[in-house]
Structure 1
Amino acid sequence: MFDFNNQIYSPFIAGPLSKRVGRKWVLLSSSVIQIVGIVLIMVASKVWMLIMGRGIQGFASGFVLAAAPIYVGEISSDSVRGTTGSFLNLFIQIGILYVYIIGPYVSYQMLQWCCLAIPIVFAVCFIFMPESPYYLVGKNRQEDAQQSLQFLRGQSAEGVQNEITLIQAAVDEAQANKGSFRDLFGSNGNRKALLITCGLIVFQQTCGINVVLFNAQTIFAHTGTDLDPAIATIIVGLVQVSSSALASFTAYYFGRKLLLLISAGIMTLCLTSLGIFFYMKMYTGDISLILWLPIAALVLDSFAYCIGFGALPMAIVGEIFAPNVKSSAVSIVTSMLFISSFASIYLYPILVGCGIYYVFWGFGLICAMAFVFVKLMVFETRGLSLLDIQDILHAKKN
């Protein structure tokens, strides 16, 4: 619970900090905080030290998820922003698989050492990365912004001049307003952006994937198959990594909205099928002909999640808000992510008590609702500049 509480409020610290000191330094500070949390867990001799360590890690994760979408959205060119935005989910899945593979075969202490290596490597590598050119322009550091963009695009000063001009125009338009929480809710365009992103994030966290990931071994044990649950869990992790990598490229060709619709549709079918399997297991007894179904459905569900709802909501978060309200908006969206994730995991044992098939039918219904939400509310942003997206939200373009 301490971990969860820190995840809820840390984005509201990270958001204003990213606006004041820069996106890069918030991300770097998150690695330092993460290292402190892991070290505290490693040396813990009391329960409260373990709880404190987990809480610090939760605080750090809130920093990452609040600042990373902003940074990635602002450093990416219009043509590849969907691809780079989906990398966040790809590396989350790689991290989960990393623990899936190592966790069952090493001691608890050794696992912490393995986890400690990640933020250290990140800090050493990321220190050499440039600050967001949008942030630098907003601080009237045009020369630094130009150098940042030259590094990011691999071009000369003349080659990035047009993009610098567009960034300046976007920042000037955004700075005409203060960018407070009041501005976020006072504009129809900003409210629409907040509704779209909060909706996508809530559906992302309540579509059942957290239950699948955190209870994969238990679910496979319920099926009665001969496959080692630990191996089955690794299979799911491999599918998530490969499909997340695929999503990074399909977003470029197919766009965000179509992939979200495909993702929600397939997850609805998979989770409904899993509910039917467990219902038959409980009430018909003979399920020998469909013992393959749980693994197939969970693998396909994981694939569908990663190509759409796993990869794209945070990418959209990073591109849909105006610069003046982006930090405040992402703080709210990130907190919604942790709240809905906690609610999803908290409800799991309650639904299991009613019958595990209700778990999958319930999450399947949520996925069906997500399909309708995307169809009605989400607009395509592939290939659009950040300024174009604001024009659409504020009805300046059709």
Structure 2
Amino acid sequence: MSYILGWYLTYRYVVWVNLACSILGVALLMTVTESPVYLLRQNREEDARLAIAHYRGESPASKIVLEEVSRLKQQITPAVELIATNIEDNPKRKEAEKEKLNTDDFSPKMQTRMSPLKVLFLSPSSRRAFIVVGLCLALQVMMGMLPVQVYAKQIFTQAAPSLSSHFCSIMLGMVLLVGSLSSLVMTDKCGRKFLLIISSILVALCLSSMGIFMQTDIVPPWVTAVLILVYCFSFMFGAGSIPYVLIAECFMPEVQGLATVLLGEMVWLFNFAIIGVFPFMIKYIGIHSSFYIFACCAVFNSFIAYFLVPETKGLTKDQIQEKVLRRKK
């Protein structure tokens, strides 16, 4: 919508429209029911049960809701994950720990005494998931999508001076939307890992070709413009969306919120850096060389996806944690 409004309105009106949308978003957020995980951490089990019933569309006394409450109560206990990951290869120790779990000495206070920050970096599975997902997010930013969006008009003017830069920018916004919707459809059909690898490879090919075409002018300008749109679609199809799916799936509930905040702040920090550096990249090494650098990051991301990212399609949280640890071995 911002791309279309920017064609017809001045930036002042666009700012007011976005401000109105932000206010509407805040108003809608006030109607959202609190997270069941948060409520359980605050020892508000009844409210958590009502929240789950609200999101599930079930009765608070239904079997589905009660099972969900029971599962969440187990998962928000940091000690459970740590025990499972530390004794995986030692059957005798595993039996001893099971007996310990059944004793009265293992109280809820002992289970919850570790802070989420400690669990995030002391738990092998959570720590490894944080590193892998963090790498994917960092490389996602370094693929150059945000600079292309911010400097779309200038890039299209330089790549295809004979075409309307405003029209190309609107087409870019539409392609980003279509790519995002396609990702929603294909993520559960093809799997996260496959889409991430294919998307990164396509992005690398598009960026390399864009750099060559803009450096040599061997093709008509419209070809480069179309290639930029293909690059945007390829990015949103996998590399731009899958890392956020991994954030939701690769962390246990007790560290989910903290990991999301830390990784989100990291992404914004990288966004700030790449937006600030991009004009100097164009000035000193040229836009084609900038695209070559972005292409290298996309290639690196495909290797990270192939060797480190676990396939999480159709798996439970516990199965994903085990798979994350197995990839370490």
Interval of TM-score (by shorter of Structure 1 and Structure 2): 0.7 to 0.9
Q: How does 1:136-215 map to 2 (within 5 A)?
A: 136-156=39-59, 157-172=62-77, 173=80, 175-176=111-112, 178-215=114-151
Aligned in 2, Cα 1:211/1:159: closer, same or farther, shift over 3 Å? same
SS in structure 2 at match of 1:294: helix
1:241 corresponding residue in structure 2: 177
Question: Which blocks of at least 5 consecutive residues in structure 2 are unaligned?
Answer: 82-110
The answer as to 2:288 corresponding to 1:372 is no
Q: Give the distance between the partners of 2:227 and 2:117, measured in 1 at CA.
A: 42
Q: Is the 1:267–1:304 contact (alpha carbons within 8 Å) kept by the matching residues of 2?
A: yes
The answer as to 2:293 corresponding to 1:362 is yes
Task: Give the counterpart of 1:389 among 314, 320, 327.
Answer: 320
Aligned in 2, Cα 1:108/1:275: closer, same or farther, shift over 3 Å? closer
Q: How does 1:1-398 map to 2 (within 5 A)?
A: 98-156=1-59, 157-172=62-77, 173=80, 175-176=111-112, 178-281=114-217, 287=218, 289-352=219-282, 353-394=284-325
2:84 corresponding residue in structure 1: none
- Larger RCO, structure (CA 8 Å, separation 6 or more): 1
Query: Which range moved further: 249-258 or 229-238?
Result: 249-258
SS in structure 1 at match of 2:231: helix
Residues 353-383 of structure 1: per-residue CA shift (max 9 Å, x gap): 2222101111111100110111111001112
Q: Give the distance between the partners of 1:394 and 1:177, measured in 2 at CA.
A: 24
Q: Give the distance between the partners of 1:236 and 1:335, measured in 2 at CA.
A: 26
Query: Which range moved further: 262-271 or 186-195?
Result: 186-195
Greater radius of gyration (CA): 2
- Give how far 1:132 is off: 1.4
Residues 219-253 of structure 1: per-residue CA shift (max 9 Å, x gap): 11112442210110000100001110111121121
Give identity over the alignment, percent. Answer: 28
Q: Is the 1:263–1:305 contact (alpha carbons within 8 Å) kept by the matching residues of 2?
A: yes
- Give how far 1:290 is off: 3.1
Residue type matched to 1:389 in 2?
A: I
Q: Give the distance between the partners of 2:325 and 2:318, measured in 1 at CA.
A: 11
- Give how far 1:187 is off: 2.7
Q: Give the distance between the partners of 1:385 and 1:189, measured in 2 at CA.
A: 14
Q: Give the distance between the partners of 2:40 and 2:224, measured in 1 at CA.
A: 52
- Give how far 1:117 is off: 1.5
Residue type matched to 1:377 in 2?
A: L
Q: Which runs of 4+ in 1 moved over 4 A?
A: 174-177
Q: Give the distance between the partners of 1:367 and 1:158, measured in 2 at CA.
A: 46
Aligned length: 295
1:81 corresponding residue in structure 2: none
Aligned in 2, Cα 1:166/1:340: closer, same or farther, shift over 3 Å? same
Q: Is the 1:178–1:324 contact (alpha carbons within 8 Å) kept by the matching residues of 2?
A: no
SS in structure 2 at match of 1:304: helix
Q: Give the distance between the partners of 2:159 and 2:182, measured in 1 at CA.
A: 29
SS in structure 2 at match of 1:160: helix
Q: Give the distance between the partners of 2:265 and 2:27, measured in 1 at CA.
A: 28
Q: Is the 1:274–1:293 contact (alpha carbons within 8 Å) kept by the matching residues of 2?
A: no
- Give how far 1:177 is off: 5.4
Residue type matched to 2:292 in 1?
A: W
Aligned-pair RMSD on alpha carbons?
2.2
- Give how far 1:179 is off: 2.6
SS in structure 1 at match of 2:76: helix
Q: Is the 2:208–2:291 contact (alpha carbons within 8 Å) kept by the matching residues of 1?
A: yes
Q: Give the distance between the partners of 2:268 and 2:128, measured in 1 at CA.
A: 21
Query: Which range moved further: 323-332 or 300-309?
Result: 323-332
Q: Give the distance between the partners of 2:15 and 2:116, measured in 1 at CA.
A: 40
SS in structure 1 at match of 2:252: coil
Q: Is the 1:177–1:183 contact (alpha carbons within 8 Å) kept by the matching residues of 2?
A: no
Residues 37-63 of structure 1: per-residue CA shift (max 9 Å, x gap): xxxxxxxxxxxxxxxxxxxxxxxxxxx
Aligned in 2, Cα 1:395/1:368: closer, same or farther, shift over 3 Å? closer
Q: Is the 1:177–1:324 contact (alpha carbons within 8 Å) kept by the matching residues of 2?
A: no
Q: Give the distance between the partners of 1:152 and 1:168, measured in 2 at CA.
A: 17
Q: Give the distance between the partners of 2:232 and 2:249, measured in 1 at CA.
A: 25
1:55 corresponding residue in structure 2: none
Q: Is the 2:160–2:222 contact (alpha carbons within 8 Å) kept by the matching residues of 1?
A: no
Q: Is the 2:310–2:320 contact (alpha carbons within 8 Å) kept by the matching residues of 1?
A: no
1:284 corresponding residue in structure 2: none
